[in-house]
Amino acid sequence: MAQTITAPKNKVDRQWHQFIGGQFKEGGSERTLFNPADGKPLCKVAESSKQHVEQAIQAARKAFDEGPWPKMSASERSAFLFKLADKIDENAQELAELESLNGGKPLREALYDMGDAAQCFRYYAGLVTKPTGQSIDVPAPSVTTVVREPIGVCGMIVPWNYPLLMAAWKLAPALAAGNTCVLKPSEYTPLTAIKLAEIFQELELPPGVVNIVLGGGQNVGQPIAESMLVDKVAFTGSVKTGKIIASAALSNLKKTTLELGGKSPMIVFADFDLDIAVDYALFAIYCNAGQVCSAGSRMIVEQSVYPAFIKKMSARAKQIKVGAGNLADTEMGPLVSEQQMNRVLEYIDIGKKEGAKLEVGGERLRGDGYGDGYYVSPTIFSNVKPTMRIVQEEIFGPVVVVQSFTTEQEAIELANGTVFGLAGAVFSNDITRAYRVVKALKAGITWVNGYHSTYNECPWGGYKQSGWGRELGTFGLDEYTEIKQVNINLAPEAVGWFEKR
């Protein structure tokens, strides 16, 4: 049984302000954050005003138009990013504790995320110093080169499920390429972004290169997406908000990347070891309490092993230790907020009303040991129909639906049968079949006999309504650059297009 935790007040009981032009700025209103582990107030955080957002955008504009950052050599920017990565590693324990307190995730997961964020900065620090561009063989006496240049001011709006990591996926390539940034963390989980600003100050990042504004989507996020002074917006969040951002970005046709939601399938063929498949299924859906864009939230299992799969998965799901993120034996934490918990519970209710069979879980864990924390037990629905809302819509919590199939074609059709296309996996010992099926999936991130492994070196993003563009890898750096062709005439003569009179 979980113990209710009390937040170590000394860690969070301090001022948390916006960071603009290299300085922490007071003012604006305040927002109370709650500890998801016990539902009690955690701390107060500044809420940026309209003026703060304008100042942050202006500071980033000035830093780009006049400042040293875009003009520095790639190796100078690279050196800064390597130092930043080392500082994240040095502060990893504190950052992870903050993220665990703020978002509820188990400390071991938060620590893993901090290492990943540091590595992301290191990856782009290295990549940006490697040769890029092209030299094109055009008719003499001209020479043509193709160069990449920073885009300008980049607005970044991120969610609460991986607060620092999602910021790193954007800041690292943007900074490496020479852009300046206005970052808005989620209103639920701003603490590690503010700590990152302290590290920027310590490392003397030139003022205005990264600005951090705090608060809700409509008042603080949307003005960034709408601003005529912002050249690019990079967003990670829900499809619904992604569509709002895309239309706001039309103001000046800013470059836009969108990393949106998913309802990702995991197909299990009967020839695969069932215990290993179930182990991956638990990892696919219950990691970070299912609040993962690429979560395996739809199991698609061959009919002959369907009953056995459900039995084994239900037995294992019941054993998962749910509790506060800072307890050593916790395997799954609470959901991030009361609002998110209520949304998940509402979907569980919808599933029951739609006629799906609740195999296990489906309830809020409360009271003894859980206090008023936002805990939902690991939940499995079987006997679902493809048209049900719990099969089609992203729940973003520890809820999985298990579907069955009899033919390979049916498995593919079920897998591709939603508006999303972020991730997907196939489990089979027949590698020819597994490859054929994985190739048929309409998804940007896929696995054969695995789930969730992801690398800074590989592109991340989705097909269909899961988004626009890619983060990470060389593709992620491209999204933060403009491409310019430079034509040089080495022996200029009169062009003679119009007759001289």
Q: Out of 181, 293, 302, 471, pick the active-site residue.
A: 293
Q: Out of 99, 226, 259, 302, pick the active-site residue.
A: 259
Q: Is 293 marked active-site?
A: yes
Task: Dump strand ranges (E) for 169-245.
Answer: 180-184, 210-212, 232-236
373 part of the interface to ligand NAD, by CB under 6 A:
no
- Give the interface size with ligand NAD as a residue count (CB under 6 A): 31
Least distance (Å) from ligand NAD to the CB of residue 460? 6
216 part of the interface to ligand NAD, by CB under 6 A:
yes
Omega within 30 of 0 (cis) for the link into 141: yes
| Residue 143: strand pairing partners | 488
117 part of the interface to ligand NAD, by CB under 6 A:
no
245 part of the interface to ligand NAD, by CB under 6 A:
yes
| Residue 403: strand pairing partners | 300
Among 237, 333, 362, 417, binds ligand NAD (CB under 6 A): 237
Residue identified by tokens 């430079």 is 486
Least distance (Å) from ligand NAD to the CB of residue 315? 28
Residue 132 CB coordination number (10 Å): 15
How far is the C-alpha of 475 from the C-alpha of 148, rounded, in Å?
Answer: 13
Residues 401-430 that bind ligand NAD (CB under 6 A): 422
Least distance (Å) from ligand NAD to the CB of residue 282? 19
Among 4, 102, 161, 418, binds ligand NAD (CB under 6 A): 161
Residue 250 CB coordination number (10 Å): 11
Among 48, 100, 119, 236, binds ligand NAD (CB under 6 A): 236
How far is the C-alpha of 256 from the C-alpha of 244, rounded, in Å?
Answer: 12
261 part of the interface to ligand NAD, by CB under 6 A:
yes
Is 146 within 8 Å of 133 (Cβ atoms)?
yes
Among 72, 74, 143, 244, binds ligand NAD (CB under 6 A): 244
Using the minimum distance from each CB to ligand NAD, give the nearer residue, 245 or 278: 245
257 part of the interface to ligand NAD, by CB under 6 A:
no
Is 294 within 8 Å of 471 (Cβ atoms)?
no
394 part of the interface to ligand NAD, by CB under 6 A:
yes
480 part of the interface to ligand NAD, by CB under 6 A:
no
Using the minimum distance from each CB to ligand NAD, give the nearer residue, 104 or 467: 467
Q: Is 259 marked active-site?
A: yes
Least distance (Å) from ligand NAD to the CB of residue 13? 24
**CB-nearest residue to ligand NAD:** 217
User: Which helix (H) or strand (E) covers residue 423, if one does?
Assistant: strand 423-427
**Regarding beta strands 41-47 and 29-34, do their DSSP bridges make them parallel or antiparallel, or are they unpaired?**
antiparallel
| Binding track, positions 283-302, relative to ligand NAD; x by CB under 6 A | ----------x---------
Is 376 within 8 Å of 335 (Cβ atoms)?
yes
How far is the C-alpha of 379 from the C-alpha of 397, rounded, in Å?
Answer: 9
How far is the C-alpha of 487 from the C-alpha of 140, rounded, in Å?
Answer: 11
192 part of the interface to ligand NAD, by CB under 6 A:
no
Long-range CB pairs of 252-256 (<8 Å, 24+ gap) are: 252/227, 252/228, 254/155, 254/225, 254/230, 255/151, 255/231, 255/479, 256/232, 256/468, 256/469
How far is the C-alpha of 401 from the C-alpha of 298, rounded, in Å?
Answer: 5
459 part of the interface to ligand NAD, by CB under 6 A:
no
Among 3, 201, 238, 383, binds ligand NAD (CB under 6 A): 238
How far is the C-alpha of 36 from the C-alpha of 289, rounded, in Å?
Answer: 12
Instruction: For residue 400, give the nearest of 290, 288, 262, 275 by alpha carbon.
Output: 290
Is 285 within 8 Å of 396 (Cβ atoms)?
no
Least distance (Å) from ligand NAD to the CB of residue 489? 45
Residue identified by tokens 């302000």 is 17
- State how far Cα 159 lies from the chain centre: 7
| Residue 375: strand pairing partners | 365
Using the minimum distance from each CB to ligand NAD, give the nearer residue, 40 or 343: 343
Using the minimum distance from each CB to ligand NAD, give the nearer residue, 168 or 278: 168
Using the minimum distance from each CB to ligand NAD, give the nearer residue, 19 or 80: 19
Is 135 within 8 Å of 144 (Cβ atoms)?
yes
262 part of the interface to ligand NAD, by CB under 6 A:
yes
Query: Candidates 47-55, 195-203, 211-219, 404-412 — which segment interacts with ligand NAD by CB under 6 A?
Result: 211-219
186 part of the interface to ligand NAD, by CB under 6 A:
yes
163 part of the interface to ligand NAD, by CB under 6 A:
no
Catalytic residues, by residue number, are 259, 293
Q: Using CB under 6 A, list all residues that contact ligand NAD.
A: 157-161, 166, 184, 186-187, 216-218, 221-222, 225, 236-238, 241, 244-245, 259-262, 293, 394, 396, 422, 460, 467
